Structure 1
Amino acid sequence: MKNNPYVGPRPYEREDRRNFYGRQREARDLTSLILAERVVLFYAPSGAGKTSLLNAQVIPALEENDFNVLPTTRVGSELPPEIDPDDVENVFVFSALMGLGGGEAPAEALLGHTLLSFLRQHCLEEDAPDYKPPIVIFDQFEEILTTHRERWQDARGFFEQMRDALRGMPTLGVVLAMREDHVAGLDPYAPLLPRRLRARFRMERLDRKGALEAVKRPAQEAGCPFDPGVAERLVDDLCRIKVAVRGQQTSVLGPFVEPVQLQVVCHRLWENLPEQEDNAIQWEEVEEFGNID
């Protein structure tokens, strides 16, 4: 079938927004928190879909609220080959600036910039007619703890520069998105940030209700819905986890679904449906084309 409404193994992008389902409450609550706080720590288990939620729901919602959301950036990128590491004052800041610049400026032009100086250069003054408060989103922020370990001392300097940027730009907002198993590693730096980084939002793994919506709604909107009960059976299979009972391996229904597995299965199913398909998706087609294993 053409016009596949499922994204497969990649994260959702902004253009996939109309097919993003199952996380409306999280999107609403996280957006509200970002609107209310200067710095928000957004964390979740690995694979829960943080990047997709930001791309497909939160960033568009912030822009609809007249915020200037800068390009999402990361702090753990490798330095370009033309850059001498000895010329980089802070490797985490430099990585962030490369992302914020969107690849438009030569890497050499970023040397010597701080977060504050870069943002002031690339954001309008507050008294400008078209001014919109800027928001910087750092994705995969656990990289400040896991990458560039030979420059680990730069981590504190990064947070000091973030503090200076927040002080120098009173309307600046910051979102730190990271895996929850690394959250405790930020504790030494929390005193440098507003409210000691207490504004936090935890996203749980995708539950059965959200998974069912993520399976059913894209197909329904694309004009090829699931036959009654078929999506429910598919989600039950996606929820299954293996356990040992009296020494024997068996499977039981778990509370969560892996979003990537859901998208991969549904994407493959849709790709293999007959092009002339104009009826509801049957369980036999799920068994044939949407193999969960």
Structure 2
Amino acid sequence: MGDSVGDPQYGYEPDHGTGREREAETTHSFSTALRRLRQARGLSLTDLARQTHYSKGYLSKIETGTKPATADVARICDRVLGAEGQLLALVRAGPPPAEPATAEPRPGEVCPYRGLSAFTSQDADWFFGRERATAALVERVFERVGGGPLMLVAPSGAGKSSLLDAGLVPALRRGDFPMPGSECWPVVTFTPTARPLDELLERTAKTVGGDLAVTAGQVRERPDAVLDAVRAIVGDPPVPSGGRRPPPCRLVLIVDQFEELFTLCRDAAERRAFVRVLCALAAPRPEESVHGPAVVVLGVRADFTGDCLDLPELAPVLTDGLFVLPPMSVGSCGSPSPVPRNSPG
């Protein structure tokens, strides 16, 4: 994940897990499933190494079955490949460790310690120490509605993915966002991959539970086709008896590991089209529009901001829509650094 440490360029194989995970055995079906899912996503081993931060050689040995996979490897590959737990289920745990301190939780218990893995929305109850950062991010996202995307920038390992998945997403679903009906808005979280527009459509369709019936080419020409398709599936919120019509449902797009747009997507035209679509979806709507602006949040590693500047459409985002997350430190709780805003949007 973007917040994991370990650099595949240098063959560093981080050991995120406990002794129990290090002894985990990899079944033949795991190796086959990993290779099949990777190929189905159109990723090379190099691509997978970049996204998981494990070395290409290490992943190759797992795919050939010559090296066992830890539960943490399976968990991270599950998320990167969108396998929904399939890979983790194929990893069989080895014998329990002798040390009680490293024992696995008993059935019904949950271990709150994520190690170096990013927190997800399922881990929200264990996501401590970033309350101020989460509240500040929610406020900043609210200020940007109708003003374009918001870009969350953080150095590697600062907890960017965790703040998005275990901070912002649960806050939206709890109704902490100060807009009526926001707890019911469809929230689409994804990474760009090598085909960002296709990924946007695929993940949105999965979130709303229906076929959008639009192509990447159609969205290039008319970004609002995404909003039309979502509204056709989700529908308008019901009008309470004798009450006022509630505001329209808004689409929320959270694009984590935005740097994949430069590391995985090799087509410059595709990159530009993807950014244009995101900016158009988050822009103010004409008065006659039946849609409200989408909420678009981009999570990008700090060392890729220069690449973002190469895309003219992102210049206003880096000027007016920046949210900087520093690394965690004692006493600071990782509070976001203030960023001057020329206009709240």
User: Considering the TM-score relative to the shorter chain, is it more than 0.5?
Assistant: yes
Q: Which amino acid aligns with 1:172?
A: A
Matched, 1:186 2:308: yes
- List aligned pairs for 1:202-217, cutoff 5 A: 202-209=324-331
Q: Tell me what 1:280 maps to.
A: none
- One of 115, 129, 137 as aligned partner of 1:30: 137
Which residue of structure 1 aligns with residue 229 of structure 2?
Answer: 121
CA shift at 1:18, angstroms?
1.6
Check 1:108–1:122 CA distance in 2 against 1; reply closer, same or farther (3 A cut): closer
Counterpart-to-counterpart distance in 1, 2:139 and 2:252: 14
C-alpha distance after superposition, 1:176-205 (max 9, x if no partner): 101010012112334467666521111111
How many residue pairs are counted as aligned between the two chains? 198
Offset of residue 24 of structure 1? 1.2
3-state SS of paired residue (2:191): coil
Other-structure match for 1:60: 170
Give the Cα separation in 2 of the matches to 1:196 and 1:205: 20
Higher relative contact order (CA 8 A, sep 6+): 1
Q: Which residue of 1 aligns with 2:120?
A: 13
- 1:47–1:196 Cα change, 3 Å: closer
CA deviation digits over 1:8-28, x for unaligned, max 9?
343212232121111111111
Asked whether 1:148 is paired with 2:148, we answer no
The alpha carbon displacement at 1:99 in A equals 2.2
Please list, as runs of the form range in 1=range in 2, the aligned pairs for 1:164-179 lying within 5 A after superposition.
Answer: 164-167=280-283, 169-179=291-301
1:43 aligns with 2:153: yes
Which structure 2 residues correspond to residues 91-102 of structure 1 after superposition, within 5 A? 91-102=195-206
Please list every run of 5 or more consecutive structure 1 residues that lacks an aligned counterpart in the other structure: 78-90, 213-293
Distance (Å, rounded) in 2 between the aligned partners of 1:172 and 1:126 = 15
Equivalent residue number for residue 219 of structure 1:
none
Paired position in structure 2 for 1:134: 251
Residue 337 of structure 2 corresponds to which residue in structure 1? none
CA drift at 1:141: 0.5
CA distance in 2, matches of 1:153, 1:72: 23
Tell me the CA shift for residue 209 of structure 1.
3.4
Contact 1:44 1:205 in 2 (8 A): yes
Q: Does 1:70 align with 2:174?
A: no
Amino acid at match of 2:155: P
The higher radius of gyration belongs to 1
SS at match of 2:188: coil
Identity across aligned pairs (percent)? 23
Q: Which stretch of structure 1 is more off in the superposition, 49-58 or 130-139?
A: 130-139
Q: Distance in 1 between matches of 2:304 and 2:332?
A: 26
Counterparts in 2 of 1:42 and 1:192: CA distance versus 1, 3 Å = closer
Separation in structure 2 between the aligned mates of residue 165 and residue 102 of structure 1, nearest angstrom? 19
